[in-house]
Structure 1
Amino acid sequence: MLVQLEHVRKKYGSFTLELNMQIPEDRIIGLIGANGAGKSTTFKLMLGLIRPDQGSVEVFGRNAEDLGAEQKQEIGTVFSDSGFSEYLKVNQLIPVMKRFYPDFREEEFAERCEKFQIPRNKQIRDFSTGMKAKLNVLLALSHGSRLLLLDEPTAGLDVVAREEILDLLREYMEIPGRSIVVSSHISGDLEHFCDDLYMIHEGEIVLHEETDRILEEYGFLKVTEQEYEALDKEYLLRVRKEPFGYSCLTDQKHYYLENYPEIVVEKGSVDEVITMLVKGETL
């Protein structure tokens, strides 16, 4: 297990984050939630930058706070609110990276800069949003890391730039033993990229599921009031009153397809599932 958070609790004023999470090898884990839900705090806990008030955070089998320089070099990070001075040029970053990361792969980094049209003799402040995002990911991939922690790496990018970054990350995962934890407040960005999704809402994990299972087994029942009254509600997760009757979220779509062939059962996107989990009523 690359990362393990057990019974973690971190409190900031009136906000409390509570986590149980496991990051095994060879998985891409999506962390979804609105801004302020606790995603960045989760990353800081994994990096040992902050301590939990309760519980334990282990990375590579060691307490996150006790990671040495050698272990930290195996973690690549991208944070939306941090980075190098924008007055630097990319070529000026190379000696800095070599100093902090003995395994920095300068030739490979230079080749990728050329491939993704990142100018090396231009100040970073003159880069477009997409160029800055690609540079940050290239730097995280440049020093042999086996764990990537990426906080909103595709925020504000157009479709083409997003796909270029996701393709880079897919290539990174071709080597066994690696994993990625990537956050976004836009679940559609991660729907066809992640193996597992964790949904954080107001400091709590309200969903942990394999992405394929969400797409294949979760669904929405659209029923009249009469149909709702007659419905077996054991496998309903959330319900919302609608003008036509009720919309019901289930994680056992095929059960209702087989046993209630007369009702409407629709496939939902990850966004729709998450919206219902947050806004729908519990039974």
Structure 2
Amino acid sequence: MLAELTEVRKQYGDFFMNCTMCLEEGRVTGLIGKNGAGKSTAFKALLGLIHIDGGTVRVMGQNGVPLNVQQKGQIGVALSDSTFSGYLTVKQVIHIMEKMYPGFERERFIAECHKTAVPLDKKIKEFSTGTRAKLKVLLALSYGARMLILDEPTAGLDVVAREQILDLLREYMEQEGRGILISSHISSDLEGLCDDVYLIHEGKILLHEDMDVILDSYGLLKMNPDSFGKLDKSYILRTVKEAWGYSCLTNEKQFYVENYPELVVEKGSVDEIVSMISKGEDL
């Protein structure tokens, strides 16, 4: 196990998080949920960047935070609200990275900057949002960390730049013993990269599922009130009342395809799951 949160609790005013989740070796794990659900809080708790109110944090087999120097060198981090000073250039950042991380791969990092159009001599504050996002990911990948913690790493990137970053993450995972914990609002990124996902809503983990299961077995049913009244609801996870009838989230799509051929059954997706669990109701 690379990292684990067990009943980790944190309260900010009216917001309360109680989170249990883990990152295993050889897996890319997604953390999904709407804004304010607790994704960044969970990441910061794992990294020891906030004081938790209870629960247990384990990183690479060791209990507790803050992380020691050795642990920090094994984690590549790209958080949405952190970066180097905007008054530095990437060349200046390189000198800092060489002093901070003995495993920093200078030549490879520079090559990747050229490849992804990250300028070396320009001040970071002059970068576009997308270029800053690329820089954070390249830095996280630059010193051979065993695990990556990436909060919205492709935010602000165009399609080409996003694919470049995703290819780097896939290449990173080719080496055994590594893992990635990632959040993103771009569902196609997660669906093409993640092995499993956790869904967090109002500070609680409401769903943990393999991505293959989500794409193969989850679905969205749409029907009028009469059809809804006759529906076997054994495999319905969430229901939303619409102006025209009902939308229902199921984890047994094939059951409804075979037994209710008249229903509209759409393929499940990360976006639909977040939407339905956030606004839907249990039966």
TM-score for both structures, normalised by structure 2: 0.94
Long gaps (5+) in structure 2: none
Residues 248, 102 of structure 1: alpha-carbon distance in 2 compared, 3 angstrom cutoff: same
What residue number does 2:159 align with?
A: 159
- Structure 1 residues 16 and 243, CA gap change in structure 2 (3 angstroms): closer
Instruction: State the shift of 1:115 in Å.
Output: 1.9
Would you say the 8 A contact 2:150–2:183 is kept in 1? yes
RMSD: 1.7
**Counterpart code for 2:59:** V
Post-superposition Cα deviations, 1:176-200, rounded to whole Å, max 9, x if no partner, equal 1111111123434322221111111
In the aligned structure 1, how far is the partner of 2:95 from the partner of 2:282? 55
- Structure 2 distance, partners of 1:282, 1:10, is 26
Shift of 1:148: 0.5
1:56 aligns with 2:56: yes
Counterpart CA distance in 1 for 2:264 and 2:33 is: 29
> How far did residue 130 of structure 1 move?
2.1
Which residue pairs with 2:117 in the alignment?
117
- Range with bigger deviation, 126-135 or 13-22: 126-135
Cα deviation digits, residues 203-229 of structure 1 (max 9, x gap): 111221111211110112223333222
Compute the displacement of 1:262 (Å). Answer: 3.5
Question: 1:272 matched to which residue of 2?
Answer: 272
d(CA) in 1 for partners of 2:136 and 2:198?
24
Partner of 2:97 in structure 1? 97
Whether the 8 Å contact between 2:238 and 2:248 is mirrored in structure 1 is yes
Counting only pairs closer than 5 Å after superposition, residues 1-283 of structure 1 correspond to structure 2 as 1-283=1-283
Give SS of 2:163's match.
helix
- 143-152 vs 243-252, greater mean Cα deviation: 243-252
Contact 1:8 1:57 (8 Å CA) reproduced: yes
| Separation of aligned partners in 1, 2:234 and 2:123 | 59
- How far 1:244 sits from its partner (Å)? 4.1
Q: After the TM superposition, which of the residue ranges 49-58 and 223-232 deviates more from structure 2?
A: 223-232
Alpha-carbon contact 1:45-1:64 (below 8 Å) kept: no
- State the percentage of identical aligned residues: 59
Q: CA deviation at 1:157?
A: 1.9
Mapped contact 2:33–2:274 kept (Cα < 8 A): no
Report the 3-state secondary structure (helix = DSSP H, G, I; strand = E; otherwise coil) of the residue aligned with 2:192: coil
Cα distance in 2 for residues equivalent to 1:279 and 1:198 = 17
5+ residue gaps in structure 1? Answer: none
Q: Distance in 2 between matches of 1:142 and 1:2?
A: 19
Shift of 1:56: 0.4
Q: How many pairs does the alignment contain?
A: 283
| Contact 1:47/1:64 (<8 A) preserved | no
| CA distance, structure 1, for counterparts of residue 224 and residue 194 of structure 2 | 35
1:260, 1:12 → 2: CA distance? 46
C-alpha contact 1:86 1:124 (8 A) present in aligned 2: yes
The answer (yes or no) to whether the contact 2:220–2:272 under 8 Å persists in 1 is: no
Q: What CA distance in whole angstroms lies between the structure 2 residues aligned with 1:9 and 1:167? A: 35
Q: 1:139–1:187: structure 2 CA closer, same or farther, 3 Å change rule?
A: same
In the alignment, the residues of structure 1 paired with residue 131 and residue 185 of structure 2 have an alpha-carbon distance, to the nearest angstrom, of 21
For 1:51 and 1:125, the matched residues in 2 are separated by: 30
Contact 1:32 1:187 in 2 (8 A): no
